[in-house]
Amino acid sequence: MQPTFRSMAADKYGILRADPAIIKWANMNANRHKYFRWTRRTAWITFAYVVLVPGLLGTAGYMTEGKWNMRGKRRGDMISDF
C-alpha cells in the first residue's frame, strides 16, 4: 500500500478545507461597490490620488524639463545645463 501525500489543510479525502474568514473577505471584496459611501475621507483620498498627486508630479516634471542632461557625461562633468 502506497502512502498518500496530504497537506496540513487537507481533510481525510485530500480536499482543501475552506477557511470561513477567507470566504467572508472574498465576498466583501467582490461586493465592495455595493457598500461604498462618499464621506469626507473618501472624497479627500479620491481627490488626492486623481488630482493632487498627478498635478504635483506634472508640475515637478515641467519645472525640471531640460535642466539635466545625463547623456555622454563623464566623471566630474556637470549634469546641469544652466
pLDDT in tens, 14-27: 667 788 999 999 99
pLDDT in tens, 24-37: 999 999 999 998 99
CA distance 24 to 39: 24
pTM of the model: 0.54
When pLDDT is cut at 50, 70 and 90, the band that residue 56 belongs to is very high
Cβ neighbourhood burial of 26 (10 Å; 0-12, 13-18, 19+): exposed
CA distance 48 to 16: 42
